Structures are given as C-alpha cells and as structure tokens.
Amino acid sequence: MNEYRIKGLSCAGCAQRIEDEMKQLEHGEDTTISYNSGKLKVNPDISMPEVNRILKSDGAYISEQLNKQINTHDHQHEGHDHDHEHSHEHDHEHGDGNKMLKLLITSGVIYIAAILLDGVLANWSVIILYLAATVISGYTTFFRGLKNLTKLKFNIDTLMTIALIGAIAIGEWKEATLVAILFGLNELLEGYGMEKARRSMEVLLQVAPKEAIKLANGQENIVPISSLQVGDLVKIKPGEKIPSDGVVLEGKSSVNEAAITGESLPLEKETGEPVFGGSINNEGLLIVRIEKAYNDSSLAKILHLVQEAQETKTPTELFINKFAKYYTPLIMIVAALVTLVPPLLFQGSWTTWLYQGLSVLIVGCPCALILSSPIAIVSGITRNAKNGILVKGGVFLEQLGKIDTLAFDKTGTLTKGEPHVAQLENYDQERFLQVAGAIEKSSSHPLAKAIMKELADRNITAPDPDEIETITGRGIRAIVKGEPYWLGNEKSIEHITIPEPIQKQINLFKNDGLTLVVVADEHQVLGIFGIADEVRPESKSVIASLHKLGIKDTVMLTGDHQKTAEKIASAVGVTRFFGGLLPEDKVNHIKDLSSKGIVAMIGDGINDAPALASAQLGIAMGKGTDSAIETADIVLMQDHLGKLPAAVSVAKRVNRVIRFNIIVALGLKIIALLLTIPGWLTLWIAILSDMGATIFVTLVSLTILIEGNKEKI
C-alpha cells in the first residue's frame, strides 16, 4: 500500500465520503483515509489522477508520499530535498488556510456593504452583492452538495446546499449569505482545530535524528540513520541525538531520555551502559556501538505505534459515525415535515414554514457531533506519549478511562526485581562475611549479587576460594583457606545440629517472607542472610493515587509464597493479593476479576504475557523492551509506575470530554429545534448554534493538550 499525507480535509464526514468514492475505483477497495492523522493509503495500482480528482472535489490534496525508499548513497541531496518539500508543504498548507480566510474576509466585507447599501442602491444591485458574497464563501460547499444531490447522497454539504437554494428561492438573500459565510468560517475553524491536534502529534514524532556520524577505518562519515547496521560505531557530540539503541564504548555523559521514557531528569551514562535512540547527549563525547538497526530500535517502534494509534477508531467514534449516517437523512425528513405539515394541515404560510424547514436542515448538521471524539482522542494519545506512555490506539485510551480493577504482577512492577539483603545475623564476626564473599564472588546468581553488594557497602574484601562445588537444590560447598564451608538454604546445613536460638531466628526470617542464605562450617552456623525483593519507593503513592482516581480494586498476583506476598501487599497498600501462583493461575484470576468488572493487568511483558492478553487491557512496563511493546495495549516506557496515575487521569479526562462534547452538540441542536414550535428558529440562529457547538467541542478537546502542574482527579 502507498501512503500519503493529505491536507485540506474539511471534516470527518467528508473524509469518509472521499474514501467511499475511491473504493469505487479500480483497485480502490482497500483504500483508507484517516481524518485523525490526515493519511491516505491506496493500492499502488490505483489511478492517481482519479484519486487527485476526488480529493480536489473536496478541496483536499496530497502534500507528500510518506513511504519513500531512502537512497543511502545520495542522502545529502535527499535530506535537502526533504527539507525543501517539507517547507513547500508548510507553505502550501498555510497558503490554503490563508486563502480561505481571505475569501471569508472578502465575503464578509461585501456582505456588510450590502446591508449598509440596502435601500440606497437599487434592489437588484444589493442582490448581486449578496449573491457575490455567497458565491465567494460557499461555492465549494455548493458544488459538492449539488454533486451529492445528483447521486442521492445526503451529508453536511447536501444539507447546506438545499438550505442555500431554499433561502434564495424565497428571497432571503441576507440570511442565505450569512449561512454561506458562517458555514465557511465553521469549516475553517474546524480544520484549524484538527490540524492543531495533528501538529502536536507531529512535533512529538520529530524526535528522531536524521543523520549520524559513523566511524569506520579511522574515518568519520555522516550517514542517514536508516543505513546504520548492528555493530556500527557512531560518535555522538554534546547536544546531538543518539541515532539508535546501543551500548557506550567510550566516554561519559549525562543523557536525556525524555523522548523514550518521558523522564525529564538526565541519567549518567558511561562505558558498558545502554542508550536509546532519540535520547540527547548533554555534555560529554560518546562513542556508541549500535545494537539495533534504526527500524528495530525502541524509538522507531514507539513512533510507529503512536502514528498507528491516531488512525484507530474507538467504539464511541464508530457509533457516532454510524449514527451520523442515519441521522442526516432523518433530519431531512424532519425538515420536510416541518415544511409541509403546518401549511397542509393547519393553514400555515408556505413561505414561513419553508423558512423554518431550511433552518432545521442547518441545525441538523452533524459537524459538532462527529468532531466530539477524534480531536479529544488524538490529544489524549499525544499527551500520554509526551509522558512516555504509549497507548496503541484510541480504543485502549477509552478503555483505560473505564477500568475499575487493576491487577499487578509483583516482581519488577511493584518491586524492583533486584534482591537485596534486608536483614542479616552474624554469629562469627571474623569468618561469616569473608567466607560468604569468597563463595559468591564468581557467581552471577541474583542472590549472590545481593550478597556481594552488601559486602561492597561494608568495604569487605573476600579471598579467592580453593574449590567450588554446586549442590543442586541446596547451595554450594567450597574450600576457603583450606577449610570446608557450606552456603545455601536450610538443606545445605543438614550435616550440623542447629541450636534453638538460631532456629528461632531462621523461623522469624521465614515469617517475614525473607529468602534465606545460610553460611556454615563443619560444626556451626556462621551467619544468615535474609534477602528480599526491594519495594519500589513510588509503589505506595501510586496505589493511593489510583484509588483516588476511582480504581476500586487493586490486586497483586505473584508466584512468591504467601508470606512474601502478604508483606509486599501490606507495604504498598493494594486491596487484595494472591501468592504462590503459576502463570496459568494468574490467567484464571484475571478471568475471574474480568467477570466482575473492567480489568487492566500490568506486568513486565515477558513472564506475564498470558495474563496481559487475558485482561481487557494489558499494560507493560520497562524501558522499551521489545516484548513489552509487542505484548501490551499500553506501554509505560519508564522503569517504574510513577506515570501510571497520570495516564489513567488523562484517559478519564478524554472520556469526560467526549461525553461532554456529545451532550453539548446534541443539546444545542435540540434547543434550536424546539424553537421551531413557536416559529422562532431563524437561519442565523440555526447556523450559529451549529457553528458554536463545533467550535466549542473543538476548543474543549484541545484543552487536553494543556500540561497542568497536577492532573485533576
């Protein structure tokens, strides 16, 4: 499929009409147009002159082709051409908007002149002025509407065209002109509103660097990032963006990863540490080895997901679009009844009730209703993406705002997933820590790392062991300085009798949910490590914030034993917890919770994939891991839960705004329609109610983009 950027789409309904027309073309059955993102996807074999003709009929045009093949050996010329094209597109877009604005201003001036000259000039002269103003501001709508009428297609343009013809037919020149001007202004402002939301998204997508300094054979070459391969070395100067995911080979610097994680504070990076494409190198010089080609990088996947998210339609949007499809013909029937029933049955004036019927047509325009959702959805996705929260589509954003139950994995989600020594008992001051260090120093086991970190914090240097032997299911036997020692669980010290005080301490550690590592010689216990998974510092406040946001049930699901689960659950404040669970047990719990409410599951996206898939909404965390991005519906790019309440808050706000917009759009129309009963509805009231509702819902939707110091609950 070829993909194009479209400019000049006047409304969501018009975009749908264009899509329907293109689908009638040869090879056009797979054509899609997204009003939200302004994109057109067509079969490469479709007739592009015909596509352009259909677009032109609505005043739209192709501004650029998005899926161009990049010629790597001609990148410098291409980069120049791309900038020129972007500049031309920018000028074209502004030119279109400015042209429409100038036409409306000209039309407005002529309209005012006609009003002032009414009674001064001959009547036919004033009519010509009104007609000129109407043609200048409304000719595109008029021609589109006539075309629709010949095909018996009824949409916004059709309604406006019938209203204009009817108003002119009964001699209401002044009001016919006002309808044309205000409808043109309405379309202009509607387009500006959607474009504002799109531009906010486009600014977000501009974080990707275009070029990189590649090091090869002692030479530096500027190459496009698309040409970078795994293993290439790149040089990143202070202030430059890192081109793709990699590892620091040389240098030390602070790096701003806000583009990936939404975190504003920079992180210190040095040799051996990973970096993400799109991050900004602050002050030092870095040499980075590329670990992923750009197309496979975290940044590329993020940008692709964000772009795709704009193009999905929520259940609310789909309902509104379906509703509008039947709503427009219904309004025409109502207008016909308003026009015909009073004169035929109640001796009403044909002119008066034709005028009222025309007003009903204008009130019935579904512009505001159709716009109730898309701008709010795009704004919400953009707002969350700026915070490092990837929502894969509007449907998931809408769902996030409706959840009442949130299930958490424990390890790596509520806890850091890194064991640390929580407590220790030392029964032999000289040997305990040194022997433990000697045995564990060469091990890569997480428990060994926790013990070695504790020794490092205490500045203890351990000797090298003489021999090491692993005993499966128990621990390690080692010879240190010629003496035998054992390190491991309780089973590893079955060769000695444990004194009652030490056994009591072991039981206390176990009751606290700690993992035991015991060190002993041939005759006695030298000491005990009580190791635990450290609770993330933000977990408790995050759970409290989620409860305030209306999440009634927070549930922790873990494979750890019940005592450990109880301790962590108490520390973080979840409402319920379940321990000792296998992956299939987690799935069963999620299904049970889903039968009672709307459930989101949050985990690391690897071990929790089945549970994430079983929940109505899967949320993965972790700094852009491939599995997290691929598995979940929503991805927290940070390595913590801190941004989760903000994401829920934005989602709830989007849902509130959509509901509010629908109420306003329909409410204003109902009020205006009720004015037909006493015969008070006029064309200018009708167009102002429709225009006012459209502008109002657009502005309300755009407020979602405004960053506040704190999200309102």
Query: For every residue of 660-713, which 3-state class applies, written as one string?
Result: HHHHHHHHHHHHHHHCCCCCCCCHHHHHHHHHHHHHHHHHHHHHHHCCCCCCCC
Answer yes or no: is pLDDT of 531 > 80: yes
**Of 56 and 625, more confident:** 56
* pLDDT at residue 86, rounded to an integer: 39
Q: What is the 3-state secondary structure (H, E, C) of 219-257?
A: EEEEEEHHHCCCCCEEEECCCCECCCCEEEEECCEEEEC
Q: What is the pTM of this model?
A: 0.67
**Of 195 and 637, more confident:** 637
Answer yes or no: is pLDDT of 422 > 60: yes
Buried b (16+ CB within 10 A) or exposed e, 67-86: eeeeeeeebeebeeeeeeee
Q: Up-side HSE of residue 309: CA atoms within 13 Å toward CB?
A: 34
* pLDDT at residue 11, rounded to an integer: 63
Joined together, the tokens standing for residue 11 give: 């409304």
Answer yes or no: is pLDDT of 97 > 60: no
Tens of pLDDT, residues 237-282:
888 888 888 999 999 888 887 666 655 567 888 898 888 887 888 8
* pLDDT at residue 606, rounded to an integer: 53
**Of 437 and 92, more confident:** 437
* pLDDT at residue 82, rounded to an integer: 37
Tens of pLDDT, residues 103-122:
888 888 888 888 888 778 88
Joined together, the tokens standing for residue 237 give: 């100067």
Q: Up-side HSE of residue 325: CA atoms within 13 Å toward CB?
A: 9
* pLDDT at residue 478, rounded to an integer: 92
Question: How far, CA to CA in Å, does 49 sit from each of 10, 27, 61, 88, 435?
Answer: 21, 13, 11, 21, 81
Kindly state the helix (H) or strand (E) to which residue 395 belongs, with its residue range. helix 394-400
Separation between Cα atoms, residue 713 and residue 709, nearest integer Å? 13
* pLDDT at residue 668, rounded to an integer: 82
Residues identified as active-site? 409
* pLDDT at residue 247, rounded to an integer: 93
Tens of pLDDT, residues 377-401:
888 888 888 887 888 878 888 889 9
Mean pLDDT of the chain: 79
Sole residue written with tokens 């110091």: 709
- Quick one: CA dihedral 305, 310, 311, 316, positive or negative? positive
C-alpha 358 chain-centroid distance: 42
Answer yes or no: is pLDDT of 174 > 70: yes
Sole residue written with tokens 């635990």: 532
- pLDDT (average), residues 356-368: 75
Work out the pLDDT band at 553, boundaries 50, 70, 90. very high
Answer yes or no: is pLDDT of 156 > 70: no
Work out the pLDDT band at 68, boundaries 50, 70, 90. very low
pLDDT over 90 percentage in the chain: 18
Answer yes or no: is pLDDT of 303 > 90: no
Q: What 3-state DSSP class applies to 154?
A: coil
* pLDDT at residue 554, rounded to an integer: 94
**Of 76 and 587, more confident:** 587
**Of 166 and 663, more confident:** 663
DSSP character at residue 492: G
Tens of pLDDT, residues 176-226:
787 777 777 766 766 666 666 566 556 655 666 788 899 988 888 899 888
Separation between Cα atoms, residue 297 and residue 277, nearest integer Å? 7
Among the ranges given (213-222, 471-480, 652-661), the one the predictor scored with the smallest mean pLDDT: 471-480
Separation between Cα atoms, residue 577 and residue 595, nearest integer Å? 18
Q: Are the beta carbons of 495 and 382 closer than 8 angstroms?
A: no
* pLDDT at residue 311, rounded to an integer: 57
Q: Are the beta carbons of 277 and 243 closer than 8 angstroms?
A: yes
Sole residue written with tokens 């299939």: 584
Q: Are the beta carbons of 566 and 530 closer than 8 angstroms?
A: no
* pLDDT at residue 320, rounded to an integer: 63
Q: What is the 3-state secondary structure (H, E, C) of 115-130?
A: HHHECCECHHHHHHHH
pLDDT over 70 percentage in the chain: 80
Q: Are the beta carbons of 317 and 374 closer than 8 angstroms?
A: yes
Separation between Cα atoms, residue 571 and residue 549, nearest integer Å? 20
C-alpha 565 chain-centroid distance: 32
Joined together, the tokens standing for residue 20 give: 């329907």
Give the residues across from 527 on adjacent strands. 426, 519
Residues 6 or more apart whose Cβ sits within 8 Å of residue 463: 434, 437, 438, 480, 481
* pLDDT at residue 69, rounded to an integer: 37
Joined together, the tokens standing for residue 34 give: 């997204």
Among the ranges given (196-200, 220-224, 482-486, 601-605), the one the predictor scored with the smallest mean pLDDT: 196-200
- pLDDT (average), residues 530-553: 90
Q: What 3-state DSSP class applies to 166?
A: helix
- pLDDT (average), residues 47-56: 86
- If we measure between CA atoms, which residue out of 309, 210, 301 comes closest to residue 260? 301
* pLDDT at residue 558, rounded to an integer: 83
Tens of pLDDT, residues 494-512:
888 889 999 999 988 888 7
